[in-house]
Amino acid sequence: MITECDGGKYGRGCSLTCGACINNTPCHHINGSCLQGCGPGFKGQKCDEECDGNKYGPECSLTCGACINNTQCHHINGSCLHGCDPGYKGRTCDKECSPGTYGINCREACSTNCNTPQSCNRTTGECIGGCQPGWKGLHCDQNCQPGKFGQNCKYTCSVNCKDYNSCDKTSGDCVGGCLHGWQGKHCNRGPKQNSANDFWGMVKCAKYWPDSGVEKECGNLRIKLEKENQFAFYVVRSFKVFHKKANTSRTLTQYHYTSWPDHGTPEPLFLVIFHHHVIASRSPKDTSPTIVHCSAGIGRTGTYIALDALSKAGKMTGKINVTEYVKSMRTDRMNMVQTHEQYKTIFQALHDVFRAPIQSLNISDFVKKVENMSKEEPANWTVIRKEFQQLLAILPVYQQEDYKLAKQNKPPTCSDKILPLDKFNLNLTPLPDHRSCFINAIYVSSYTKEHVFIVTQYPENAVDFLRLLNDHESNYVILLDPSDEIEKQDTKTIVVVEPNKSLKLESGKQDTSSVRALVNYTLGVSPENTITIVSKDGAELCGMFCAIHNCMQQLHMDGNIDVFSTVRQLQICRPEFCSSQAEVDCLTQIRRTLEAEGRLQIESLFRSRS
């Protein structure tokens, strides 16, 4: 009698043992296959193969935990036979280390010197977020070496500490005090009157200056101011520095930006133009280092250095990274670029640098350019029209809140078409009769002086106009519309200059004789107080007049002209300036004053004033 194998056997003579069939059920009596599947930890038709490939459990469907060195876990229960990888714990190594612990089986404790105490990488123990000030290393278990301080010991003690290698490892305070001529906890604040001698010695004669006509003695050094040129937003000074013992002398040039607000930031374009002047006026052969400073040497100083370095990098490589550069500066000097506004100014200034580079032309190149554009062929005006389109494309865009004061205070009869920006507006002195302090007028700078011009529209009443002249001490009025085109109002004796014919512009060739005459008159009188510029709307003709005036001053000061940048500066104060093609076309026609007759006239004019 023939019977099937039983008792967990199969095959010829029931000589073979079944595999790990689920729940110890019998396997097939002939081929040994498990008819109902395998028990936990096994696989294959006969369930005679243990789970592998980091799998375990029923049908090998579960994944092993973080067993050390990626070894196979137990094929049935998933336990890691040789322990866990660093950062994990538990029988199956499926639990991450608790906060504050790390390593194999989470036996190690994170350093208390981590920037966030006991917060470290669960695997390596490296402190997350770096170290607390005064410590360094992956585990923040090393003191700062002498001469270093701060988080991760990345800052260098001030060279002005009395003991250079002895500053507080946490704060950077100079423990033994400062060298002569320096003050502050970090000994990084510039000199006072009683420490100027030491300061001049420290910078090797590259800083603080005497007044004009006075020589300053600083130890072995004698400093003399030889030349000073005033510009609207900065001053350029030239010094002769004598070393008495060595019997040597050298020339030092100082560029002093004078219009950085005490609690704010400058107009980015004005800072860009200042930087361009510094770069353009320096000889390419001069490779000596440039000293940059402000009161603390970190905020404004960092902003200017970032603009200088990143503008050069962008032109050379086509790429810039403001964040990384500021971080790199801070590894050398803590807190470089102090405020969000300064950081934002770097971006805005670089934007101005790259979207419309400053390009000044010397007089001969400028005349040649305008002569080519003035030929009969219409195609020759393509260049100037492209420039005008570019001006329109980069025209400053202001929001309603930028005109908030004007909208609140203007009388109902005042049009909304052209209003003064709050940051450039000026007010009238209050009167007992509660007359409004508002007037639609703004300050505009010339090339050489800030707030030289008051630009306004012809007033609706003579009283406010006379208040404007009196309050702001303006003794000269330049009318850009003939008086017979303006409704007559009350009058007052004052110096008024007006054209003898209409200055209405049309695209194409222009007769600029009347405009040039007004500009030449203004250059000639050079009043100490403000000049008021008036047109019907306070924008058309006023912008053109100021642009021509400032270009003429630039020619005299620098020997070159940049009409494009001049107009850009004016449009920051009032976007409506030079907003028509006809006005920009007219600007190019000042070549007539730059050729033989006009050039001689201008040179003679400036000589008579000097």
pLDDT tens-digit profile of 323-333? 999 999 998 88
Question: Looking at 131-145, 156-170, 408-422, 450-464, which range is the least confident one?
Answer: 156-170
Please provide the DSSP assignment of 244-305 as one string. Answer: TTTTEEEEEEEEEE----TTS---HHHHHHHHHHHHHTS-TT--PPPP---SSSSHHHHHHH
What's the confidence (pLDDT) of residue 300? 92
State the Cα–Cα distance between residues 608 and 362, nearest whole angstrom: 23
What's the confidence (pLDDT) of residue 606? 43
What's the confidence (pLDDT) of residue 216? 86
Mean pLDDT over 114-143 rounds to 88
Mean of all residue pLDDT scores within the chain: 82
What's the confidence (pLDDT) of residue 282? 86
Please check the confidence at residue 72 and state whether its pLDDT lies above 90. yes
State the Cα–Cα distance between residues 44 and 29, nearest whole angstrom: 17
Which helix (H) or strand (E) segment is 441 a member of?
strand 441-444
Mean pLDDT over 83-100 rounds to 92
Mean pLDDT over 409-431 rounds to 82
Mean pLDDT over 246-258 rounds to 90
**C-alpha 53, offset from chain centre:** 55
What's the confidence (pLDDT) of residue 381? 55
Please check the confidence at residue 601 and state whether its pLDDT lies above 50. no
What's the confidence (pLDDT) of residue 79? 94
More confident residue, 186 or 56: 56
What's the confidence (pLDDT) of residue 486? 53
Positive or negative CA dihedral for 566, 570, 572, 576? Answer: negative
Question: For a pLDDT cut of 70, what percent of the chain falls above it?
Answer: 84
Mean pLDDT over 498-525 rounds to 72
Question: Looking at 30-44, 221-235, 466-480, which range is the least confident one?
Answer: 466-480
Please report the domains of the chain, with CATH numbers, ordered by start residue.
1-50 (no CATH), 193-282+290-355 (3.90.190.10), 369-609 (3.90.190.10)
